[in-house]
Amino acid sequence: MFYLFGTHGAHGQVQSPAFEVAVIKLNTDLPVMASGPGLRHGTLRGEKVTLKRLLSVAWGITEPRVIGPDWLDNKRFDIMAKSPEGVPDSELKPMLQALLKERFRLTAHLETRKMPVYYLVVAKGGVKMAVFPAPAHRLETHGARGGTTAGTGTAAKIADALAFSVKQPVIDKTGLTERYDYRLVYAPLSPQAHDDAADFTLPDIFTAVQDSWGSNSNREKMT
């Protein structure tokens, strides 16, 4: 076990960079449409993000691997912060770690646990996703309202995106190395009170992954 917020300040060692200015406010507005957080050109922005989401970004792990009290996932925040001049966006993780420690008096540690996971594997029919850059196209939803997973990235990144939707770790077992253009629409797994208009004629996420991407998700145990 070790704490993750140590910085160097003694004996001439260089201190980790920190945001120059940051504002974090509780947001209780509905409906919940979270965005970010993301650091671009020195400015960090996020709207209606949970602390669990901020922790996952700060340590580069998927949200299901963040274990803590219920309020990590129940309270939502708006966040805006500015990096010091000349600090690259690649320094997001240590700066966000330091910010969370300062504002929330947070301590954290890494540990190994046994927990259920999903494996992402290639289906028998092969991969159906287009290799990036794919020809321009639109995602047709026919007015349906459901969950959406979309972007460009490797199979490992796609597994991380799916983990956010299924609320459990997803491990890439495809062996694929290409970068893909991926889009998926599916019925929400756990509809909220404000999701009255959600379209449940859509396939569940597991069927949608196989039909649209040519992949399967097998549930296993991981240590």
Q: What single letter denotes the amino acid at residue 118? A: Y
Tokens of 36: 């970010």
Which single residue is written with the structure tokens 């159906």?
A: 128
pTM of the model: 0.64
- Residue 145 structural domain: 115-222
The number of domains in the chain is: 2
Selected residue with higher pLDDT from 145 and 195: 145
Max alpha carbon distance in the chain (Å)?
63
**Are residues 36 and 73 located together in one domain of the fold?**
yes
Residue 171 pLDDT exceeds 70: yes
Of the three residues 49, 81, 104, the one that is the final residue of a domain is: 104
**Are residues 83 and 146 located together in one domain of the fold?**
no
**Are residues 215 and 182 located together in one domain of the fold?**
yes
Which single residue is written with the structure tokens 């700060």?
A: 58
Of the three residues 36, 69, 104, the one that is the final residue of a domain is: 104
Alpha carbon 133 to its chain centroid, in Å, reads 22
Q: Any idea what DSSP says for residue 102?
A: H
For residue 91, the SS3 value is: helix
Residue 62 pLDDT exceeds 50: yes
* Lowest mean pLDDT across 207-211, 212-216, 218-222: 218-222
**Inside any domain, residue 7:** no
Residue 19 pLDDT exceeds 50: yes
Q: Helix H segments across the chain?
A: 51-59, 71-74, 92-104, 155-166, 205-208
The residue among 22, 36, 24, 25 whose CA lies nearest residue 83 is: 22
pLDDT tens sequence across 107-151:
777 888 788 888 988 888 788 888 887 665 544 444 445 677 888
Whether the CB-CB separation of 169 and 146 falls below 8 Å is answered with no
Phi/psi of residue 162, each to 5°? -65, -35
**Inside any domain, residue 32:** yes
Confidence band of 183 (pLDDT split at 50, 70, 90): confident
Confidence band of 202 (pLDDT split at 50, 70, 90): confident
